[in-house]
Amino acid sequence: MTTVQEFSIKPVMDLVVPIHGQLAMNRVFFHSLASNTRHPFRLIVVDNNSQDESANFFESQHSEKTPVLVLRNTNNQCYPVSINQGVRAGEAPVVGFLNNDILVGPGWDEPLLEGLLAKGYPLVSPAGLEHFPDRKYEEILFQRWRYINRRRWDHDPEKNIREKIHWMYADFDRFAEDIQKRYQKVAYEGIMGHCHLMRRETFDRLGGLDPRIQAADWDLYLTLARKHREEGIKKNPMILGGSYVHHFIRMTDATTRRMPVVCTHEPHIKLEEKWEKKDIQELWPFKDQVPGGKKSVFERIRKKYIKTKNRLYYWRVSLGKIM
C-alpha cells in the first residue's frame, strides 16, 4: 500500500469546497482548516456566484504554505457539477469533498490518509454528530447541537457562529482531540456527506460524480459499495473514529441573497429513481436510517425523550459530565 511519504508531489490533497455566499461561515471554516490540517493541501474553492465578499476572502488567504485556488462561476451550479469542476482543476493524488459549514479537529486528515492509502479503503470520512462512534451518545450530541444551533447568540454573524461552538463544546479542539484518541481504533461502514477523501485515480475511474444526483455523496457510497459486493473491491467506504469533524447542519444566513441553481445537464433525479429499492436497502450502511424506512415505536419515544431532555437540561451541561 502507498504511504503519504511516498508521494513526492505537493500538495498531497486537493480539498474542494463549493460555496455560495456565507462569508462569516467561510472565515470560520478556513481558519479551522488552515490551523488543524497536518499534511500539505491545496484548497480549491468553487465560487458559485456569491453575492458577498466570499470569493475575495478566499483569494486573500492564498499563500505558499496554504495555496488557495478560487474558481469563479457566473451562476450557481449544483453540488456534483461543482465538485467535478474543482477536482478536475487539481492534480494531487488525493481529493477531498468538503462542505464550507464544518470545523475540522486537530490532525483530522492523518487517520483519513492512513485509512485511504495504507489500509486501502476506497473512501474515508471522519466521525461527527450525525454518525458518532458510540451510538449511546449519538442522539444526545445531535439533539444538543440542534437546540444550540437554532438559537441566536450574537448579532454579529461570525461571533454568533463561534458562540454556538463554545456552547456546544466549550473548547472544540480539545473535545475533538479527546474523541479522536478515544475512538482511534473504531471504524464503521458509511460516509459523511460533508467531508470525505478518496484517491484521484478512483474518482477518475468512476468518471466523477453523477451530475443528475444532488445527493451525490450517497450515490457515490452506493456505487462503491456495489463494486465491493459485485466487482471484488476489497473494502467498503468507512467512517474513522480517529478523525472528528463538526458539521453545522443546515447553517444558513437569512441575510444572504441566494441565487437559483442553474444546470445545463440532464434534469436532476432522486436517488430512488437511479437505484433499485432492494439495492438501497441492502447496501445502505445505517440500517435504521434506510430511505423510506420507518422507526420503531420504541425509537420514536426514545428520540422524543432525548430531545426533551436536551431542551431542558443537556444543552446547559458540559459534555464532560454527559460523556
- What is the average pLDDT across 30-45? 97
Tell me what pLDDT residue 252 has: 56
**Domain boundary assignment for the chain:** 100-318
The model's pLDDT over 185-196, given as tens digits with 9 standing for 90+, comes to: 999 999 999 999
Q: What is the mean pLDDT of residues 148-169?
A: 95
**Confidence band, pLDDT 50/70/90 cuts, at residue 284:** very high
pLDDT band, residue 3 (cuts 50/70/90):
low
- Cα 208 from Cα 216, distance rounded (Å): 10
Quote the cell numbers at residue 150: 437554532
Confidence of residue 5 (pLDDT cuts 50, 70, 90): low
What mean pLDDT value characterizes the chain?
Answer: 92
pTM here?
0.93
Look at residue 1 in the predicted model and tell me its pLDDT: 59
Cell of 21: 455566499
Torsion of CA 290, 250, 79, 204, to 10 degrees: -60
CA distance 45 to 275: 30
CB-based contact 130:296 (threshold 8 Å): no
Task: Calculate mean pLDDT across residues 216-245.
Answer: 94
pLDDT digits (tens, 9 = 90+) for 48-66: 999 999 999 999 999 999 9
Predicted local confidence at residue 238, as pLDDT = 98
